[in-house]
Amino acid sequence: MAFDEKTEGFNVVGTRPDRPDGIDKVTGRASYGADASKAGMLHGAILRSPHAHAVIKSINLDKALALKGVKGVVTRADFAEGLTGENWNVLENVMAGEKALYDGHAVAAVAATSQLIARDALKLIEVDYEPIPHVTDVDKAMQPDAPVIREGQASKAVPAGMHPNVVDYHESGHGDVEAGFAEADLVMERTFTTEATHQGYIEPHACLATLGGDGRGELWCCTQGHWNVQKICAALVGIEQSALRVTASEIGGGFGGKTAVFIEPVALALSRKTNRPVKIAMPRADVFKATGPTASTSMDVKIGLKKDGTMTAAWGEFRSQGGAFPGSPFSFTAMCAFAPYALENVKQIGYDVMTNRPKQAAYRAPGSPMAAFAVESLLDEMCNQMGLDPLEVRLKNASKQGTKASFGPTWDRIGLVECLEAAKEHSHYAAPVPEGAGRGISCGFWFNHGGETSVTLAMSEDGTAQLMLGTPDIGGSRASMAMMAAEELGIPYEHVRATVADTATLGYNEVSHGSRVTYASGLATIEAARDTVKKLCARAAAKWGIDEDAVVWRDGCAVPSGPNAGDFDPLPIGQICRKMGATGGPIVGHYEATPEGAGVSFAVHIVDATVDRETGATSVDRYTVIQDAGKAIHPDYVEGQYQGGAAQGIGWALNEEYIYGEDGRLQNAGFLDYRIPVASDLPMIDTVIVEVPNPGHPYGVRGVGETSICPPLAAIANAVSNAAGVRMKDLPMRPSRILDALDG
Amino acid sequence: MYKPLVKVHLWSGLRSLVGQEVVEVRATNVAQMLNALEKEHPALSDAIDAGVSVSIDGKIYAYGLTEAVDETKEIYLLQRIKGG
């Protein structure tokens, strides 16, 4: 795919206009998942398993159905049969079949005339459980005596003889790792662990569903991808995809966690059963217990280093649990681990392991932050031991265009070296480490993604534009898209209204994930705008009676391409659009494609932290994010993504964790006990936008939403370890762990 | 129609299924390449059906079935890239 590149001379791109959704959000006018209602609407509630692992022997609904106000109850029997593959996995997670697989697994749902009645009815459903042994730890789940979650799930790639809970395997690399270690002056191996963390979006999942006996439905929901919701829900309730129209609400955070469905098929099934609209809004405890946290990991990493800082070899084994279903990001963990480094000898192994936990969901750069924590921590420890500057060692070994990636391919144009050099020149790195503090740095890597994308741009008679997008705005994309459309059309940013369209009004759009939106929807927006410009020029050509090729677009006007084209005054966009009905009809540009040029992205983070040796509390005192954006369309949003990734990383590194009791039940399903960072926990997070253009985008854009969460775990761990004088190898570094480490 | 002999690097988890690190098939685009891989190496079918990304000269394609391939290109099969 070739594009007309534009790398300079921007009028709108690179500026910082007001966000289009700002007033709606601060005045309460924005409509989120739980804000919708319909006449005759019922309220849904979901009964969840209190056991980590149990056979469901029977479910008696009689008493619940007899309660006044209850209009219907659904169980697994009310969903489609005969599903296979991931559709079956999703259904099994949405509504348990023969077994409850984790604490919080849905087993039945009620629709009633009020939320209170629905919840009361849940207490009247009689489920006869037979609890069976459970396992929630990734390493224990691989042991020979571990309870089996489900037989027959392993892919053919899994080596023979492994426990049935090991369901997939990855191995990649090149060179001779043992020979590489033999060349090193220092070889070290360490084991690291990370706990599962939740994406922590503030808006719980919520939806409003209508599904009639004719198999046609409407669904309003909070999601990162409504075409994906349409596809999965249609399969799970057994209707045709086009029969279900899905509209995405405003979204109060997603971070990957809203790329999946949880309550939407249940609301549809309840609506079909009751022939009434049904709304479900998840309580926070349900969000923690039954929507995807990220995977937890256990990792062994080994690196060889010469005295001059050359990495001679690297090896890693990454064990990742993603709950009671296949699908943890184990292969990404393995592939990202050593991606920042040009290694002649490297090997990474990954295992996907099932446990009695909720089905994991994507969380910003799934799998990569854990890998960086292990690799970058070990590298820091080795640099300390050898008296090497950790940044110089990273620069010396950095991946660059033409070097071979640890997972195989030869790198195209990438910006890691530029990020490291920016870090080296930054005042933060140049400043002495404050007394009593420790400093940590880390690199991070993420692939980024393109994906199926449709965009339509329709001109209005007054020369303003309506831009219809299919990717829910989870990070400011309406502003960025409006800016790119305005840039191409040559009109003010405020003259473009960007709207996230529903599934009935636009072609298929893949989920807003993989840092793809500014790249892919942006590319499609630019091409839709160029298609529009072509049509605008054609109208001018017709008016002037000259060839279409003799008209060009400049500053929002059609103008003759040169003296030979004729002597005509510039024709402004408003004048062309005012007459469009009489000159050929509506002027609409569109673009549909699967852009495949998403450039990968690297980041470098610098952290100063202090540790209170009496309480074990950590203070993050200074934080700097340096990341390659390719081209920053709206720098405020890019900086916001950088800061957001760092903030979530601080929580993951220091406090956040899923805590399971001996009974396999989640102990901290609420924000009081599951502690995400608040403003007072955070320093000002400084940002540096590096711009190494991505050749796969007309303006050079690379995705920025995910890479920012890759380095924080390691950068903070390195700062804390250097401050405390003891290596921290397990996350989170909560005060009790710090005190234990200090006590030796 | 002439189809060039393309070299496809497998991730190691697939190598054990076919006993090779690099396999050669005749194809002019990614779709033909994946079809040929499944036909000549049925053990790869599950992995390919589950979804693979393809790296061609360092550029990673999540879908890209119509992308051209030939004997001069560096081609790697990768597990399907997704994100959050």
Average pLDDT over residues A467-491: 97
Which residues of chain B have a CB within 8 Å of the CB of A199?
84
Q: Residue B47 falls within a domain, yes or no?
A: yes
Q: How far is CA A141 from CA A154, A164, A352, in A?
A: 14, 9, 11
CA distance A168 to chain B (A): 9
Contact flag B17-A156 (C-beta cutoff 8 Å): yes
What residue numbers bound the domain in which B9 lies? 5-79
Give the pairing of strands A70-74 and A106-112.
antiparallel
Contact with chain A for residue B68, Cβ under 8 A: no
Burial (0-12, 13-18, 19+ Cβ within 10 Å), A160: exposed
Q: Which residues pair with B29 in a beta bridge?
A: B68
pLDDT-based confidence at residue A519 (cuts at 50, 70, 90)? very high
Query: ∠ CA A497-A502-A503 to the nearest 5 degrees?
Result: 140
B19 reaches A (C-beta below 8 A): no
- Strand, coil or helix: what is A394? helix
Report the residue from B13, B59, B79 with minimal CB separation from A412.
B59
Q: How far is CA A344 from CA A117, A317, A340, in A?
A: 64, 18, 13
How much is the mean pLDDT over chain A?
97
The average pLDDT across A720-740 equals 98
**Strands laid side by side in the A557-560 sheet:** A551-554, A557-560, A571-572
3-state secondary structure of A92: helix
**Average pLDDT, stretch B8-12?**
87
- For residue A250, give every residue at least 6 positions away whose Cβ sits within 8 Å of its Cβ, in sequence order, or none: A21, A24, A25, A30, A31, A32, A222, A473
Which domains, and CATH codes, for chain A? 22-30+463-571 (3.30.365.10), 367-448+599-742 (3.30.365.10)
**pLDDT greater than 80 at residue A6:** no
User: Could B63 and A362 be called an inter-chain contact, meaning their C-beta atoms sit closer than 8 Å?
Assistant: no
- Reported as a single tens digit per residue, the pLDDT across A551-593 is 999 999 999 999 899 999 999 999 999 999 999 999 999 999 9
Is B62 within 8 Å of A450 when comparing Cβ atoms? yes
Query: How many C-beta neighbours within 10 Å does residue A358 have?
Result: 27
Centroid of chain to Cα A705: 8
pLDDT at position A463: 98
Cβ–Cβ below 8 Å for B17 and A516: no
Is the distance from CB of A729 to CB of A300 less than 8 angstroms? no
Q: Which of A347, A408, A449 sits opposite B82 (nearest CB)?
A: A449
Establish if B62 touches chain A: CB-CB under 8 angstroms.
Answer: yes
Contact between residue B38 and residue B52 where contact means Cβ atoms under 8 Å apart: no
State the amino acid at position A581 in one-letter form: G
Tell me, yes or no, whether B14 lies in a domain: yes
Mutation pick from A177, A368, A404, A449 vs chain B, by most beta carbons of B within 10 Å, is A449
CB contact under 8 A, B81 and A159: no
Give the separation between CA A568 and CA A563, rounded to whole angstroms: 10
- Residue B40 included in any domain: yes
pLDDT band at A2 (very low <50, low <70, confident <90, very high): very low
- Report d(CA A86, CA A714) in Å as an integer: 33
Task: Give the residue on A whose Cα is nearest the Cα of B14.
Answer: A157
Q: What is the ipTM of this complex?
A: 0.87
In a domain, residue B75? The reply is yes
Given a contact cutoff of 8 angstroms between Cβ atoms, the answer to whether B75 and B56 are in contact is: yes
* Furthest C-alpha separation in chain A: 87
C-alpha closest to that of A5 among A549, A527, A536, A533:
A527
Q: Give the span between the Cα atoms of A642 and A620, in whole angstroms.
A: 16
- In angstroms, the separation between the Cα of residue B37 and the nearest Cα of chain A is 16
Judged by a CB distance cut-off of 8 A, whether residue B57 touches chain A is yes
Q: Which amino acid is at A524?
A: A
Q: Is B9 on the interface with A (CB under 8 A)?
A: yes
A chain contacts of residue B64, beta-carbon cutoff 8 Å? 594, 596
Output the six-digit token pair for A20. Answer: 């289009």
Q: How far is CA A370 from CA A174, A254, A288, A539, A734, in A?
A: 22, 20, 20, 55, 17
Closest CB to B76: pick one of A173, A409, A696: A409
Q: With an 8 Å Cβ cutoff, is B46 touching chain A? A: yes
pLDDT confidence tier of residue B59, bands split at 50, 70 and 90: confident
* A7 pLDDT more than 80: no
Backbone φ/ψ region at A408: left (φ over 0), alpha (ψ -120 to 50), beta: left
Cβ-Cβ contacts under 8 Å, B55 against chain A: 408-409
CATH assignment at residue B21:
3.10.20.30
Our CA-based measurement puts residue B33 at a distance from the nearest CA of chain A, in whole angstroms, of 17
Across the interface, whether the CB atoms of A157 and B64 are under 8 A apart is answered no
A chain contacts of residue B83, beta-carbon cutoff 8 Å? 256, 362, 364-366, 446-449, 513-516, 706
Residue to test with chain A: of B7, B8, B9, B12, most A Cβ within 10 A: B12
Please tell me which of the candidates B13, B62, B64 has its beta carbon nearest to residue A449: B62
Sign of CA dihedral A482, A488, A493, A494: negative
Which residues, 6 or more positions from A34, have their beta carbon under 8 angstroms from its beta carbon? A203, A204, A206, A222, A279, A281
Question: Collapsing DSSP states into helix, strand and coil, what is residue A556?
Answer: coil
Residues of B in contact with A361 (CB under 8 A): 84
Distance from CA of A516 to the nearest CA of B (A): 9
Q: Mutate which of B11, B48, B65, B67 to disrupt the A interface (most A C-beta within 10 Å)?
A: B11
Tell me the chain A residues in contact with residue B82 when contact means C-beta distances shorter than 8 Å: 362, 366, 449, 513-514
Residue A4 pLDDT:
58
**A588-603: buried (b, 16+ CB within 10 Å) or exposed (e) per residue?**
bbbbbbbbbbbbbbbb
Which of these, A327, A256, A262, A198, lies nearest to A659 by C-alpha position? A198
Is B1 within 8 Å of chain A by CB?
A: no
Identify the CA nearest to A441 among candidates A394, A484, A403.
Answer: A394
The DSSP bridge pattern shows strands A217-221 and A244-248 to be parallel
How much is the pLDDT for A199?
98
Per the structure, how many domains does chain B have? 1
* Tokens linked to B38: 């499944």
| C-alpha distance from residue B61 to each of A296, A360, A599, A742, B67 (Å) | 28, 25, 11, 47, 9
Residue in A199, A452, A514 nearest the CB of B81: A514
Residues 6+ apart with CB under 8 A from A501: A456, A468, A469, A470
Residue A538 tokens read as 């054609």
- Give first-to-last CA distance, chain B, whole Å: 42
For the segment A353-364, the average pLDDT, to the nearest whole number, is 98
pLDDT digits (tens, 9 = 90+) for A625-645: 999 999 999 999 999 999 999
| A46: enclosing H helix or E strand | strand A42-48
Question: DSSP code of A315?
Answer: E
Average pLDDT over every residue of A330-358? 97
Structure tokens at A724: 């405390």
Chain B residues closer than 8 Å to A447 by CB: 60, 81, 83
Share of chain B residues as helix, strand and coil, in percent rounded to the nearest 5: 30, 30, 40
Name the DSSP class of A518.
Answer: I
Set of chain A residues whose Cβ sits within 8 Å of the Cβ of B43: 156
Q: By CB neighbour count within 10 A (0-12 exposed, 13-18 middle, 19+ buried), where does A272 fall?
A: buried
**Beta-carbon count within 10 A of A302 CB:** 17
Measured between CA atoms, the residue of chain A closest to residue B49 is: A85
Q: What chain B residue is nearest to A347 in terms of C-alpha separation? A: B12
What is the pLDDT at residue A1? 43
Give the pLDDT confidence score for residue B50 in this predicted structure: 82
Residue B84 lies in a domain: no
End-to-end CA distance of chain A: 58
State both tokens at A520: 């892919």
Quickly list DSSP for A139-157: HHHTSTTSPPS-TT---TT
Give the closest-approach CA distance of B9 to chain A in angstroms: 8
**Number of C-beta neighbours around residue A210 at 10 A:** 22
At A3, the pLDDT band (50, 70, 90 cuts) reads low
Residues in chain B within 8 Å Cβ distance of A362: 82-84
Return the top range by mean pLDDT from A219-233, B3-17, B66-80.
Answer: A219-233
d(CA A643, CA A309): 31
**Strand order, beta sheet including B52-56:** B22-26, B5-9, B75-79, B52-56, B59-61
Q: What angle do CA A457, A461, A466 make, to 5 degrees?
A: 25
Strand partners, A592: A454
Residue B61 lies in a domain: yes
Contact call for B83 and A447, based on CB within 8 A? yes
